[in-house]
Amino acid sequence: MIDRYGPWAVIAGGSEGVGAAFAHRLADAGLNLVLIARKPGPLAETAAAVRAKGVEVRTLELDLVAPDPVKAVREVTDGLEVGLLVFNAGANSYGHEFVTGGLDRFQGVIDLNITAQLALTHHFGALMKERGRGGILLVGSLAGYMGQPQISIYSAVKAFGRVFAEGLWLEMREHGVDVLELVLGVTRTPAMERAGLNMDMPGLNVAEPDDVAREGLEHLADGPVWVAGGNYDLARKRAGFPREKLVAGAHAAMKRMLPKPS
Ligand SMILES: NC(=O)c1ccc[n+]([C@@H]2O[C@H](COP(=O)([O-])OP(=O)(O)OC[C@H]3O[C@@H](n4cnc5c(N)ncnc54)[C@H](OP(=O)(O)O)[C@@H]3O)[C@@H](O)[C@H]2O)c1
């Protein structure tokens, strides 16, 4: 792992849930880490926990949707040999019917999942290409396989990420850089718990952050897309045709999981 993707890894969204699980696994493998997130508390906590494993850790408190996130990231990473970028930040920050929702709020979902993801991938990807080695792991979602009401923009940005990863994988593989879109289903993260999702619904396949992070790192070289948590058949079904019944059926299942309006 360290020969191929070290000595430094950057985790955008590296303080909680899946991002923190990546940090622990990469530290166990001996990689030094740059962790990026907004809330200082969880960031400091995860940094201390992984530093205790004997690796170097730098933290950056940054909202990735702020203008020019690369400038802030470069202040912490210039001069480091970053062999792995994990772009994990990106859970839905705004759910609403599209036409009555706030365009600026939808824009925030796009800015994080598309603009910031592209900016960091562009910066670190170019350096990896020059070196002729490295890895880029983008965290995606099963939501990106079909549109859903209230989260139509989130579904669309996750579809963008997956298709982007496929093209990038083709471009980078001849330069020794692995690219993987790691597709997650429902995963027990602090963000999901704060959103009040009912994860105990019978029949729901809920993954644990450490399991999906392990799968992602194990399959980093098996791009362009890896569907984690045993959801491969579901992803394949969701990608199928005809669309009308598929989309309506998935929505009915999703409604059972959402918190009841109070
Ligand atoms: N959890 C699920 O059920 C699920 C299902 C499918 C896909 N996914 C995908 O898995 C990834 C992780 O999701 P998650 O549930 O852990 O939630 P998340 O809200 O994306 O949080 C993950 C990490 O990103 C940081 N983060 C979030 N927004 C940020 C921003 N604007 N700027 C900088 N850092 C930011 C968070 O810390 P701060 O909040 O302190 O910034 C945290 O460390 C996402 O890409 C999501 O789409 C999750």
Residue 76 banded pLDDT, cuts 50, 70, 90: very high
Tokens of 117: 């993801």
Domain for residue 226, yes or no? yes
Question: Is residue 15 in contact with ligand 1, taking CB distance under 6 Å?
Answer: yes
- Reported pTM: 0.97
**pLDDT one-digit tens code per residue, 93-121:** 999 999 999 999 999 999 999 999 999 99
Tokens 């849930």, located at residue: 17
Retrieve residue 256's tokens.
């059972």
The catalytic position among 39, 53, 154, 245 is 154
User: Is residue 89 in contact with ligand 1, taking CB distance under 6 Å?
Assistant: yes
Q: What is the pLDDT of residues 2-19, one digit of tens each?
A: 999 999 999 999 999 999
Does the annotation mark 154 as catalytic? Answer: yes
Count of structural domains within the chain:
1
pLDDT of residue 190: 94
Domain membership of residue 43 (yes or no) is yes
Question: For position 245, which CATH number holds?
Answer: 3.40.50.720
Is residue 61 in a domain? yes
Q: Residue 237 sits in which domain range?
A: 2-257
pLDDT digits (tens, 9 = 90+) for 200-242: 888 889 999 999 999 999 999 999 999 999 999 999 999 999 8
Task: Compute, in angstroms, the gap from residue 17 CA to the centroid of ligand 1.
Answer: 8
Q: In the annotation, is 71 catalytic?
A: no
Looking at the domain assignment, is residue 180 inside a domain? yes
Q: Could you tell me if residue 262 is inside a domain?
A: no
Using a 6 Å cutoff on CB, does residue 141 contact ligand 1? yes
